[in-house]
Amino acid sequence: MFFTYLRRELAGRRKQTAIVSIGMALAIALVIIVNSVSSGVQLAQASVLGSVYGVGTDVTVTQTPTAPEEGAAAGGRQRFDFGAAEGTTADGTTSVSQSRLDADLGTSTFDATALDTVGAVDNVHAAAATLALRNTTFNGALPGSADMPAAAPTDDAATGAERPEGGPDGAGGSSFDVDSFTVLGLDPGGEAVGPLSAVSLTDGRSLATTDAGTNVAVLDSSYATTASLTTGDTVSIAGTDFTVVGLVSAASADADTAANVYIPLDVAQSLSGLTGQVSSIYVQAASSTDIEQVQADIEAALPAATVNTQADLASSVSGSLANAADLVKNLGLWLSLIVLAAAFLIAILFTISGVTRRTREFGTLKAIGWSNGRIVRQVAGESLVQGLIGGAAGIAVGLLGILVVNLVAPTLTAGATSAATVAGPGGPGGRGFGGAAPAVATSDVVLTAPVTVSVVLLAAGLAVLGGLLAGLVGGWRASRLRPAEALRSIN
C-alpha cells in the first residue's frame, strides 16, 4: 500500500513533484559544481605552491628580515670593487669581471642549528634546510689607464691634446654587463621534502648525498634554455665553475621551479660566506592533524622565526587563481548555501501546503484507522522520493556542469612568493642590480574540476536530508490533525 500510494501521489501531483525536484536539483547541482571547482582551485593552489615549496611540505620556517645595522651596507646593497691592477688589458681596453653570491633579495638567514631544533619537535616527519642566494656577475670593459686623459680637456684645438683612444668603442668609452640568477643551496640527499621534491628530472641526474662539498649543480630547465646550458656544461657561480649534472622542471609545464640553479648546501654556504646559515626550513608533519601542533611547537622553540603552514602560504598565491579562489570561497559557497536553503524551504513549504490541501484525505485515513506513524511515513516517503529525484537530476546536471568546466579548462595565472620572501620585503635584500622585487614564481594553471565519490555522496546525502526534513515537517503537521476536526472542516 505504501509504495502504491506513494507512486500514485507523486504521479498524480506532478506539478508539485516537479517544482520540489527541480528546486532540489538546482541546489544539488550548484553544490556539486562549487565543491568540485573549489577542489580544482585547491589543486591548482597546491600545484603552484608545490613548485615553490615542494610536495608534502606542511610547514615552512623562515626569519623575518631586519633593518640593517648602522654602518652596514644599506639594504644589503651589492658592491663591486676593483683594484687598480685588476683586470686584463689588451689593445688599450681593460676587461674586468667579478661575481658575487649573496643572500637573495628580502631573504634573512639564520643559524642552521634551527634545523636540529625543528627536527626535535614532536610529530615532525622530515625537515630540510635551504639557503636562497643570488649570483650576480659584473662584466665590464673600459679604456686602459694609458689611454685615459690626465685632466679634462679644455679646448682640444688650443691645447693640442690627443682624443682618448681604447675602450670597447675605441674612443675611450666603457661597456658594462650584469648577469643575475638565483641559486638555492640544499641538502643534496634530502629530496623527500623541500623544493626538489616537486620537480621532475628532465635530463641527467639529481643531486645526491655524495655531491656534498663538490661543485656540481642542477639547473631549472627553463633557465638552462635561456642560458644555453645543458648537462655536462659548466656554470660559473661566484667565480667558481660548477658542472651541470642535471636539469629539472616544475610539475606544471608552464611553471618555473623555485630557483634557477641548485647546488649542495655546504658549498652554497661556503661560497656566499654564510657558513652555518640557512634561509628556510621545510617541514613535513607526521600527519595532517599534527600540522597545527607542529607549527605551535616550532614557534615556541624558535621565537624569532616565522612559521607558516600551507594554509598561510595559500594566501601568498596571487593572480587570477587567487581571484577564482576568492570567488569560489565567497560567492560560490554562499550562493550554494542560499540556493540549498531555498530548495529545502521550498520542499518544506510545498509539503506543508500539500498536507494542508490533503486535510480531508488524512482525516479520512485516520477515520478508517490509519495510525499517525503510518501517515507520517507516507508523507515522509513522498518527500524523500521527491528529494531523491531532485538529487539524481542534480547530480546529472552537476556532472554536466563539471564536464563543461573541464572542457572549457580556463587557464588561470598564479604567482607564489617564495618562503624566503613571504616574511616581508624591505630587509637587507635591496640590490644594486638584478631587480628590487621579491622573487615570485609565476605560472599558468589550467583549472580542472575533479569529480570525487565524496562529492557525489555529499549531493546524495543532501538530497536525502532535504527530502527527510520536508517529510518530517509535513508528517509532523499531518500527525497533529485531529480526525474529528479534519472531517468537521470539510463536512
Partner 1 sequence: MYVLTNVTKKYEQGKRTVTALKNVSLTIPDGQMVAIQGPTGGGKSTLLQMLGALDRPTDGTVSLGDADLSELGDGRLGRIRAQEIGFVFQGFNLIPTLSALENVETALAPLGVSSADRRERASAALASVGLGDRLGHLPDELSGGQQQRVAIARALVKKPTVLLADEPTGNLDEGTRDEIMDLLEGLWREQGLTLILVTHDTAVARRAQRRLLIKKGALTEVA
Site for partner 1, rule CB under 8 A: 1, 4-5, 8-9, 11-13, 360-361, 363-372, 374, 482-484, 487-488, 490-491
- Closest approach of Cβ 40 to partner 1, in Å? 45
- Closest approach of Cβ 485 to partner 1, in Å? 8
Q: How many CB atoms lie within 10 A of CB 365?
A: 20
- Closest approach of Cβ 41 to partner 1, in Å? 47
Q: How far is residue 444's CA from residue 463's CA, in Å, rounded to a whole number?
A: 37
Q: How far is residue 161's CA from residue 278's CA, in Å, rounded to a whole number?
A: 57
Describe the crossing of helices 453-479 and 372-408 by its angle, rounded to 10 degrees. 150
Residue with Cβ nearer partner 1 (1 or 407): 1
What residue has cell string 619537535? 121
Distances (CA, A) of 79 to 74, 138, 425: 11, 10, 20
Residue with Cβ nearer partner 1 (194 or 363): 363
Nearest to 216 by CA among 227, 204, 228: 204
Residue with Cβ nearer partner 1 (430 or 483): 483
Q: Where are the alpha helices (DSSP H) in 54-147?
A: 114-119
- Closest approach of Cβ 286 to partner 1, in Å? 57
What residue has cell string 594566501? 315
The DSSP secondary-structure symbol of 121 reads S
Residue with Cβ nearer partner 1 (154 or 491): 491
Residue with Cβ nearer partner 1 (299 or 361): 361
Residue with Cβ nearer partner 1 (258 or 380): 380
- Closest approach of Cβ 478 to partner 1, in Å? 14
- Closest approach of Cβ 378 to partner 1, in Å? 10
Nearest to 121 by CA among 284, 280, 276, 265: 284
Q: How far is residue 131's CA from residue 420's CA, in Å, rounded to a whole number?
A: 9
In the three-class reduction of DSSP (H, G, I as helix; E, B as strand; rest coil), residue 452 is classed as coil
Q: Are 74 and 440 in contact (CB under 8 A)?
A: no
Q: Are 469 and 351 in contact (CB under 8 A)?
A: no
- Closest approach of Cβ 392 to partner 1, in Å? 23
- Closest approach of Cβ 324 to partner 1, in Å? 48
- Closest approach of Cβ 364 to partner 1, in Å? 4
In the three-class reduction of DSSP (H, G, I as helix; E, B as strand; rest coil), residue 418 is classed as coil
Residue with Cβ nearer partner 1 (205 or 482): 482
**β-pairing, 216-220 with 240-250?**
parallel
Residue with Cβ nearer partner 1 (7 or 205): 7
Nearest to 62 by CA among 470, 489, 446, 417: 417
Detail the DSSP E strand segments found in 304-391: 305-309, 317-318
Residue with Cβ nearer partner 1 (288 or 491): 491
Q: How far is residue 88's CA from residue 145's CA, in Å, rounded to a whole number?
A: 11
- Closest approach of Cβ 486 to partner 1, in Å? 9
Detail the DSSP E strand segments found in 52-147: 59-63, 88-90, 93-103, 110-111, 124-143
Residue with Cβ nearer partner 1 (206 or 372): 372
Residue with Cβ nearer partner 1 (9 or 256): 9
- Closest approach of Cβ 453 to partner 1, in Å? 37
AA letter at 150: A
Q: How far apart are the first and last CA of the chain?
A: 27
Q: How far is residue 264's CA from residue 29's CA, in Å, rounded to a whole number?
A: 51
Q: How many CB atoms lie within 10 A of CB 234?
A: 13
